[in-house]
Structure 1
Amino acid sequence: MRILHHGAVNGVTGSCHQLYMNDYNSVLIDCGLFQGAEAAGNNNKNQLSIDFNVRTIKALIVTHCHIDHVGRIPYLLAAGYTGPIYATEATAALLPLVIEDALKVGVTRDKKLIQACLDVLQKQLISVPYQKWQTIAVLNIPKEDIKPNEVCYQRQKIRFCPAGHILGSAYVEIELATDKPISRHRLVFSGDLGASYSPLLSSPRAPYRADTLIIESTYGDKRHEHRNQRSKKLQAVIEHAVSDNGVVLIPAFSIGRTQELLYEIEQFIYAAPKNSLWKNIEIIVDSPMAANFTDKYRDFKTLWDKEALGKIKQGRHPLDFEQLYTIDSHQDHLSVVQYLSKRNKPAIVIAASGMCSGGRIVNYLTQFLPDAKADVIFVGYQAQGTPGRAIQQYGPKGGYVELNGKRITINAGIHTISGYSAHADQLDLINFVKHITHKPREIRIVHGDEAAKQALAEKLGQLVPDARILRPSN
């Protein structure tokens, strides 16, 4: 057994891990796109190429639908992968939407080519309920290749468990076995774990056993604000920002962050006094993708936590309320940008991409960053090399950012509320490992900047002193 890492080890994007149970059989966990500085220095072909052997891959296992975990799937298919693609039921419903958008933005607008790729994807896509073991078919190993006294795994099965990150997200348990019942090895790939007490989805519960653990470390060196604190901070920042009738921009990924923000904003509106500004402010979601994903969140209400389901029983609609407006066409988007620039009335705009590296948020930033009455609120991680990181770093100093080849001066207010990250923080990650009854003998720390991985490694070394702790690199 061996693990090769094809991404998300020198940073937080490009998640792709290949688990070999023997020389003839492997599975791939995620196949994501590189972003920001992690994509810099390579030409487009190198960023997207599948430079590893796909012939042994018997299954692609998808932990969730963020582009840094699934963006290279079309290239995997083009490289000749014809096997099954396993995902949770919600992820299987979301994945074609994500891939279609990724193809339109980064590859082609040719509808026939896009549909051909989606047809292939749908044929190979298999949805698996949470907590159900799924056996993966493997090739028989020639007897002459099995060495005496060698542990040679011949069977494998997988199970998805809720990760609490976004709708359908999962960590994956993989069990390898020989013909001897007692000779088994359990691996756990964390995918992206959700933050505790996030709205809408329940927090992840640790597995009973993990002999080998591959764990993310996005916030391995940081602690998030408590949900009550971040909620109050978001409300206070918005109320201050709109006091001068300015526009508030919130860059957010279409899936996960957008729905959490809507959930929180609906609560602000619901609890506000009758004459409050919250009763009149317009909430604009400028993203057809976000609208589609929000529909899917409503379709999968059974995955919501008790608090969210309780609001529905009260007759409230936390993802579909009166002051919410969704912008669909590109022409409508351009019209809204101009409309907001000329009016003297506050509005909140939520638009992708979450790291400001593309999408409709760029037009809003180009228009409003020079405006001192405007405000930008970051509620998620900004990877190195992305425009979001530059705005976050230089905006408070009155600096500038490059957008679409233009230098944009930043006069707008810049705010960061880290507590709204959909990722587990250091304490969440430690607690996840702490509550594994049968502790891992090996822990591989991935999906994080070097400082985050180092900090988490030190903490886990204290928690599981007998474990071998690795920080793999490409």
Structure 2
Amino acid sequence: MKRAKEADAVSFTALGGGAEVGRSCHILEYKGKTIMLDAGVHPAFTGLASLPFYDSYDLSTVDVLLISHFHLDHAASLPYVMQRTGFKGRVFMTHPTKAIYRWLLSDFVKVSAGPLEEGNSELYSDEDLNSSFNKIEAVDFYSTTEVGGIKFTAYHAGHVLGAAMYLIEISGLKILFTGDYSREQDRHLHVAEPPPTRPDILICESTYGTGLHQPREEKETKLLSLIHGTIRNGGRCLLPVFALGGTQELMLILEEYWSKHQDLSGVTIYYASSLARKCMAVYQTFINMMNDSIKQQYARTKVNPFQFKHITSLRSLDKFDDIGPCVMLASPGMLQNGVSRQLLERWAPDARNSLIITGYSVEGTMAKHIITEPSSITSSVNPEVKIPRRISVDEISFAAHVDFKQNSEFIDAVGAAHVILVHGEVTNMGRLKSALLSKYAKQKGTHEEVRVYNPRNCVVVRIPFETQTVARTKGGLAAREPNPHERVSGLLVQSHQDFGLSLVNQDDLEALTGLKEARVMEKQRVVVNALPELVRHYLLSMFGTDLADISPTEWVVMQLVTVRFEKANNYSVSWAAGDSSDMLADSILAVLLGVDSSQASVKLTSKQCGDHTPPIPKESESSTDANITEDKKDSNNDVESDSQANLQRGDTRRKQLCSLLVPHFGDTFNATNSTVEIDGHCATIDFDTLHVESTNNTLKNRVQHILDLCASLVEPLSSSL
């Protein structure tokens, strides 16, 4: 069974990462389900200012939180969310991401903790981190997980080890969230691939906007040439890097180059990051989650590719013998603080040295500032001290993000009708949106139109979504296959888990769905100053054979509504709620409320006094003549009396009809003029013929229908007068 298409709306809100790079956090809402995507911090800010705009959303409503990868701008505020907000949902990430997450955030707590405000010196503590870690659930790539009607599947994103794109499905709606992703083949990671099914909505990064990357071979050649040239000149080469991700790729590149150049055997490559050292075991463990190239290398050589010969871990700058040429991979990548900043300030005055920015630089950071090649830089220890900059500065991006060509091709391959851009500075994001709209301009106005959104933080995007829902027959209805044109009826039940619809017989309801049938009983009491015999007379006049006597004081109308005399002129009307029974109960209540005011009640309850019965005259000729004369007089009196009675009945019926028409039409009904006026159209009622006249057929038919219903209610009362 199929239902017609229904329109609903999916809601998207960026709490961070909207028209900016950093503190990525997005909210999806659909069919009463809420999904949170990532929970990062902004690298250019500290403390509470670095958080996404959590105060603008009720996090207690979130059902599922999905972390795309372990980088700080995507995962560093997760313990804050889990331990210091009203968040009650479940958290998921891949196994490699969870393995690195704990080390990464423990290092973040030590390095970035600082005074935020009085009485609160940190975003979260080690205890918060440990507690949140135990609540995180790890998922495998390509496996589908379901939580309360939300289905999601992780696919390789190619950005860092364990980075995942998530294909999310809620009641037929499919959404693909890329997180940070890469389409460039490198030495150890999978290339991001479109999912096997077409999503309705694509949420993708726009980090580089319309920029284009150098070909991979050219970048490696330029990087190695700059490093080799610096060493020949007796200089030191500084590569500020993120502790995890691109660093491991650079290590593989340098290890391979050093093994091919014997003249470099005396030059040491350092990586100055305790976090990278601790997490190297994770890379050595998860070889099976890397690409085929590195798995084949491992199978062929039986040597773990992440056990390096030419690269040494530097535990502390205090133990660093800073003499002669060297290559230093040091974190953090934004040069805001830490070892990379200390070495920059130490090496900046020497022109023999070189600085190579290999990752993406966020606005407001030292990495972004130094690319402009300023004449001096500010000391991180004393802001009043200016350090001359003579070190050469180059930017060779090995950041594992897609450029415009890769992003555009991926969007084409995915084929989503709606594209939401995130994780991009406002200029880059705007340029990418314009380029995509120009590309899809010919499809505008057709069923293949692609809509592109670039929302800022806290701006809600609502996208209508139409579905054609299929209901499966179960139980007795599924016992046989119906004819193509046969109408199948039953109870339509929707599951709160997967939103699937089932059509079942009423008898199968509890067995197949666990639901139980219940009836809502309605009851009203009214006061009628009349004995049960008179009330029964009115009910019998109204409903005839549809009235069944249960007892002298209790009756059932049409087997649906029970009328009962209780005590002291109190009558109760009770029925099982339903369209038909509700309408019938209203009619019965109208009859009961009219018993007191009806003049017919007086006639029906009056009696003649036995002592004053007039004698019947004897028959005789004279009396016959007298009777004829009297009959003529009585006849004239009867005609006159009937005329007055008819006028009285007509007036009474008019009043009764008016009293019923007022609740229907309110102030639009004018009882004096017998008119109903709505939106400039007028309908005139003839209460004698019960006909309605109007130039507007719609209004005429409506008033005539209501008038006929009211007349059917008062007719038994009027006829008894």
2:402 maps to a residue whose letter is A
Aligned counterparts of 2:454 and 2:22: Cα–Cα separation in 1 = 15
1:429 maps to a residue whose letter is N
Pick one of 164, 169, 190 that aligns with 2:163.
169
Change (3 A) 1:362 1:195: farther
Check the 8 A contact 2:188/2:294 in 1, yes or no: yes
Pick one of 444, 447, 450 that aligns with 1:467.
450
2:33 equivalent in structure 1: 25
4+ runs deviating over 6 angstroms: 108-111
Aligned counterparts of 1:16 and 1:435: Cα–Cα separation in 2 = 25
Aligned counterparts of 1:320 and 1:192: Cα–Cα separation in 2 = 27
2:99 equivalent in structure 1: 93
Matching of residue 204 in structure 1 with residue 192 in structure 2: yes
Pick one of 321, 325, 333 that aligns with 2:308.
321
1:55-454 correspondence runs (5 A): 55-77=60-82, 78-107=84-113, 114-137=125-148, 155-177=149-171, 184-207=172-195, 208-272=197-261, 274=262, 276-277=263-264, 279-312=265-298, 313-315=300-302, 317-328=304-315, 332-336=316-320, 339-340=321-322, 343=323, 345-395=324-374, 398-404=375-381, 405=383, 406-418=385-397, 420-436=398-414, 439-454=415-430
Give secondary structure in 2 for the equivalent of 1:349: strand
Residue 451 of structure 1 and its aligned partner are, at CA, apart by 2.6
Deviation string, structure 1 residues 418-459 (Cα, Å, up to 9, x no partner):
2x11111111111211212xx212111111112321232233
Q: Which has the higher contact order (CA 8 A, sep 6+)?
A: 1
Give secondary structure in 2 for the equivalent of 1:127: strand
1:45 equivalent in structure 2: 48
Aligned counterparts of 1:241 and 1:266: Cα–Cα separation in 2 = 17
Residue 316 of structure 1 and its aligned partner are, at CA, apart by 5.1
Gaps of 5+ in 2: 1-9, 116-120, 444-448, 458-721
Check the 8 A contact 2:167/2:175 in 1, yes or no: yes
Greater CA drift, 220-229 or 100-109: 100-109
TM-score normalised by L of structure 1: 0.86
Residue 271 of structure 1 and its aligned partner are, at CA, apart by 2.1
Aligned counterparts of 1:222 and 1:27: Cα–Cα separation in 2 = 31
TM-score normalised by L of structure 2: 0.57
Residue 463 of structure 1 and its aligned partner are, at CA, apart by 4.7
2:104 maps to a residue whose letter is V
1:4 equivalent in structure 2: 13
Residue 327 of structure 1 and its aligned partner are, at CA, apart by 2.0
2:22 maps to a residue whose letter is T
Give secondary structure in 2 for the equivalent of 1:365: helix
1:149 equivalent in structure 2: none
Give secondary structure in 1 for the equivalent of 2:63: strand
Greater CA drift, 168-177 or 198-207: 198-207
Residue 317 of structure 1 and its aligned partner are, at CA, apart by 4.7
Check the 8 A contact 1:284/1:350 in 2, yes or no: yes
2:137 maps to a residue whose letter is I
1:6 maps to a residue whose letter is L
2:393 maps to a residue whose letter is I
Greater CA drift, 120-129 or 77-86: 77-86
1:65 maps to a residue whose letter is F
Deviation string, structure 1 residues 336-390 (Cα, Å, up to 9, x no partner):
1xx21xx2x2111101111111221111111111111211111111111100111
2:188 maps to a residue whose letter is L
Check the 8 A contact 2:61/2:88 in 1, yes or no: no
1:147 equivalent in structure 2: none
* Identity across the alignment (%): 24
Larger radius of gyration: 2
Check the 8 A contact 1:391/1:401 in 2, yes or no: no
2:130 maps to a residue whose letter is D
Residue 107 of structure 1 and its aligned partner are, at CA, apart by 2.8
Aligned counterparts of 2:97 and 2:345: Cα–Cα separation in 1 = 33
Deviation string, structure 1 residues 72-126 (Cα, Å, up to 9, x no partner):
1122121132432100111111111122122222237999x74421332122100
2:318 maps to a residue whose letter is L
2:380 maps to a residue whose letter is L
After superposition, the CA RMSD in angstroms is 2.0
Give secondary structure in 2 for the equivalent of 1:187: strand
Residue 247 of structure 1 and its aligned partner are, at CA, apart by 1.0
Check the 8 A contact 2:255/2:308 in 1, yes or no: yes
Residue 292 of structure 1 and its aligned partner are, at CA, apart by 2.0
Gaps of 5+ in 1: 138-154, 178-183
1:35 equivalent in structure 2: 43
Give secondary structure in 2 for the equivalent of 1:454: helix
